[in-house]
Amino acid sequence: MPVEVLHQIQYLCKNISKVEWSGALFYTTEGSIEKPEFFKITLKTILPLDMGTSAYTEYNLDERFMDFIEEDFEERCTWKLGHIHSHNSMAVFFSGTDMAELNDNAPAHNFYLSLIVNNAMDFLAKVAFIGEAKKDIKDVPYTAKNVDGHDYIIERQDFEVNSQKLFIFDCEIFSDLKVLTVTEQFIDQVAKIMIPKPVKTFPRQDPWNKPWNKPQEPWKKPSLPAHTNNQKSLFDDWDSPYTPDKQAIEDLAEYDLKAQAIYNFAKDLFNYSTQELYELVDIEEVLDLLAEYDLSPQEIAKSVITDYAKTFATHFPNASATDFVEYTHETLDLLEDVVMMYPEIKLTIKTITSMINNFISHETKGYNAAK
């Protein structure tokens, strides 16, 4: 990837960062595709042709393409044609839609290059081509049944078998993209500040006698300025029973913190994007992005349950067994609210429910045995 093409990609991703873009990708080759390990592709330029949506982009090779070729026909007619598109803030991967695009367009080329990029300057490319298997089969008998039910040959015929298969090679990409070079000490310093801060939770009696996280400091009511004259205020005779006590206010604040933390945890369970969670406003936006990965319900459920404990520990590092059960049930309630719009997570809900029921059963047995 020459610097000129790298700069074109950077410019496109900077100016079209919220949605996908796509275009024609021109390149030349060295070596033979018959020896792919020695086959070299050099990108020449990009012809931008479409600014799409957050999840889709398409274009036609119209007069813009013809005009571009005719500007320098002698050279550009020797270039080979491929495809490039962005995944904006998502990771680079070949989705079901991208694989279908390879399958649709590869037959029109001796070999076909497709490159996917994103705003983080991650690159992924594949070369696809069609292979054919042909075979002539001579004198093939057609058989039928006689009155006794036995086979007999009624006719012979020659056949030609022709089967096609899509072959795909992954590309190793070399570019002049500057690689970040920092010291190990600096990496460690950054890692320390990225550790999630502890989340406060309600103090409560824990039936498993495991520790919980208590508020560090009592809430202090801010003082109001004193009256500077003798004029009686409307609130001078305010009856104290009307106002919530200090503990009630603390509980409300703790509840808001806990609810937000659980909501962020639920979002993170399905977050395959390179975007930070705070950039994704709600769980619906996370699930909309997840849909672009074309994962099956089984793949989603397996991914979520495999990383469930690790993700939970990231968001609630000081949580107890009681917290784990309570927060998981509240997470399930959140997912039940959106499952009608996103039926692909139904299996995930069932899987999490089974997991937490098994956890409760195991912990309860241990608690009863300890008694």
Give me the residues paired with residue 234 across strands: none
Provide the sign of the torsion angle of the four alpha carbons 199, 200, 201, 207, taken in this order. Answer: positive
- 338, with CB counted inside 10 A (0-12, 13-18, 19+), is middle
Q: Is the pTM of this model over 0.85?
A: no
- Rounded Cα–Cα distance for residues 367 and 210 (Å): 11
pLDDT at position 86 over 60? yes
- Rounded Cα–Cα distance for residues 2 and 43 (Å): 7
- Rounded Cα–Cα distance for residues 316 and 298 (Å): 26
Q: What is the pLDDT of residue 242?
A: 52
Minimum mean pLDDT among 20-24, 74-78, 265-269, 364-368: which range? 364-368
Q: What is the pLDDT of residue 150?
A: 93
Give which of 118, 123, 122, 124 is closest to 102, Cα–Cα: 124
pLDDT at position 116 over 80? yes
Q: What is the pLDDT of residue 159?
A: 86
In degrees and rounded to multiples of 5, residue 26 shows phi and psi of -100, 140
In degrees and rounded to multiples of 5, residue 202 shows phi and psi of -65, 130
Alpha helices in the chain (DSSP H): 3-15, 63-71, 73-76, 96-105, 184-193, 246-269, 283-291, 297-306, 308-315, 321-338, 346-370
Q: With bands split at pLDDT 50, 70 and 90, how would you rate the model's confidence at 347?
A: very high
Q: What is the pLDDT of residue 253?
A: 56
pLDDT at position 24 over 90? yes
Both tokens of 328, joined, read 């998981």
Q: What is the pLDDT of residue 296?
A: 87
What one-character DSSP code corresponds to residue 245?
P
Q: What is the pLDDT of residue 243?
A: 56
Tokens 């550790």 identify what position? 195
pLDDT at position 275 over 90? no
Q: With bands split at pLDDT 50, 70 and 90, how would you rate the model's confidence at 160?
A: confident
- Kindly report the average pLDDT of the chain as a whole number: 82
Q: With bands split at pLDDT 50, 70 and 90, how would you rate the model's confidence at 209?
A: very low
- Rounded Cα–Cα distance for residues 267 and 286 (Å): 6
Q: Are 153 and 143 in contact (CB under 8 A)?
A: yes
Residue 184 DSSP SS3: helix
